[in-house]
Amino acid sequence: MLHKPYGCLSQFRSEFKGERNKQFLGALHDFPPGTMAIGRLDEASEGLLLLTTDGALSAQVRSPGVEKEYYAQVDGLVTDEALAQLQAGFALRAADGAAYHTAPCQARRLTTAPPFAPRTRKIRDERHGPTSWLAIVLTEGKFRQVRKMTAAVGLPTLRLVRVRVGGVWLGDLAPGEAREVAAFAGCGG
């Protein structure tokens, strides 16, 4: 397990010229040959990223039904109406432009900000209005889904941290830190 820091890509290398100066996972640690990320977090997202050399396990963890929990700091105050909309699911567009309907999910307000280390790049100034935190638990994972969902209910995501995949929690792992886990509890491994 790895705490992917803000600004790092969820891959080990890239052949694209525009990504030559980006930070990749391989720069964080000396991982075994054949290591791959199970799923992805976009460059601006942080948190728990599971790594493996087992392709079958990777497919199993990415399959529908395995819970992924995210904490999102959003622009504005989370309302009961926004929570109900998030929980019910709604129509969004996939990366390829195709329409899809999100599965119902769990969503709740966090009454206090999680104790994450400050992000390396400032999010914004308080004079731009209030922010709040919510937890979202998905059993699917489309491209930038949490960001699209919060924006659709009028609460654009300012900071997004994945805190759990199945039964594996991020816990107190610091950004950029990795720890070996015996099994991916709740993920079939």
* Residues annotated catalytic, as ranges: 42
Contact 51, 41 (CB under 8 A): no
Sign of CA dihedral 171, 174, 176, 180: negative
Two tokens, residue 101:
């309907």
Assign 119 to helix, strand or coil: coil
* Residue written as token pair 């199945």: 166
Two tokens, residue 111:
């009454």
Q: How many residues does the chain have?
A: 189
Q: Which residues contact 129 (CB under 8 A, 6 or more apart)?
A: 75, 76
Residue among 68, 107, 65 at smallest CA distance from 88: 107
Contact 137, 105 (CB under 8 A): yes
Task: Give CA–CA dist 147/44, Å, rounded.
Answer: 11
Quote the crossing angle between the two packed helices 145-152 and 80-88, to the nearest 10°. Answer: 130
